[in-house]
């Protein structure tokens, strides 16, 4: 199955709420969503369970690029902490948005730092945010997996809740930009 932004109705970025977590490895989903919102001049609204914004894409309907249509995508940052991220799916399900129309952006221990890929379906691989999403929606959704690598000392919990190191942080803006391009140019 090939990724097609025209089929995506919601993008969920995984992370933990609060400024103190913003630069954590676990919060790369929030940071990528913030870049998307900035690029599309979207404004966030806040509720107890989530921050959300809506962007509108202009899509070519025909190959001659004369016919165009508008495509709305909801951006969501769960405000429930990582382990309970799936609660945001209830509102999407009420809007008739199916899991195959959702893209979840998350950090990925199994990929080297900065390696990014799009993938449909799969397991949670120990990621509590994905596990929570899957408890509400199953596994049939798109994922943008942003590689953070594995910790040298093996302490995964400490690693994902720590900030990117200074060498990584120097590259992060460019990697976020590459991630956004991967989503919208696939």
- The partner residues of 46 in beta bridges, in order of sequence, read 51
- The partner residues of 55 in beta bridges, in order of sequence, read 73
Q: 178 pLDDT band (50/70/90 cuts)? A: very high
Whether 35 shows a pLDDT value over 90: the answer reads yes
The Cβ of residue 41 has, within 10 Å, a number of other Cβ atoms equal to: 8
Q: In this structure, what DSSP letter does residue 95 have?
A: T
The Cβ of residue 177 has, within 10 Å, a number of other Cβ atoms equal to: 13
Catalytic residue numbers, as ranges:
26
Helix (H, G, I), strand (E, B) or coil at 105: strand
Contact assessment for residue 76 and residue 45, using Cβ atoms and an 8 Å cutoff: no
pLDDT at 99: 95
Average pLDDT over residues 45-50: 93
Q: In what order do the strands lie in the sheet with 102-108?
A: 45-46, 50-60, 68-78, 10-13, 102-108, 142-147, 116-120
pLDDT at 58: 83
The whole-model pTM stands at 0.94
Instruction: Read off the pLDDT of residues 19-31 as tens digits, 9 standing for 90 and up.
Output: 999 999 999 999 9
Contact assessment for residue 76 and residue 123, using Cβ atoms and an 8 Å cutoff: no
- In the chain, the domains with their CATH numbers are 5-184 (3.40.50.1470)
Whether 62 shows a pLDDT value over 80: the answer reads no
Helix (H, G, I), strand (E, B) or coil at 78: strand
């Amino acid at each position: 199955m090939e990724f097609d932004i025209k089929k995506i109705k919601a993008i969920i970025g995984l992370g933990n709420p609060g400024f103190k977590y913003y630069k954590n490895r676990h919060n790369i989903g929030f940071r990528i969503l913030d870049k998307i919102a900035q690029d599309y001049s979207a404004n966030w609204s806040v509720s107890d369970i989530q921050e959300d914004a809506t962007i509108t894409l202009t899509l070519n309907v025909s190959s001659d690029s004369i016919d165009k249509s508008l495509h709305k995508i909801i951006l969501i940052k769960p405000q429930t902490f990582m382990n309970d991220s799936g609660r945001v799916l209830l509102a999407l399900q009420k809007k008739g948005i199916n899991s195959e129309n959702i893209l979840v952006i998350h950090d990925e221990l199994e990929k080297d730092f900065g390696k990014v890929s799009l993938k449909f379906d799969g397991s949670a691989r120990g990621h509590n945010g994905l596990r929570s999403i899957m408890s509400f929606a199953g596994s049939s959704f798109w994922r943008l997996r942003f590689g953070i690598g594995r910790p040298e000392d093996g302490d995964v919990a400490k690693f994902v809740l720590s900030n990117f190191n200074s060498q990584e942080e120097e590259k992060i803006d460019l990697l976020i930009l590459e991630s956004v391009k991967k989503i919208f140019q696939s």
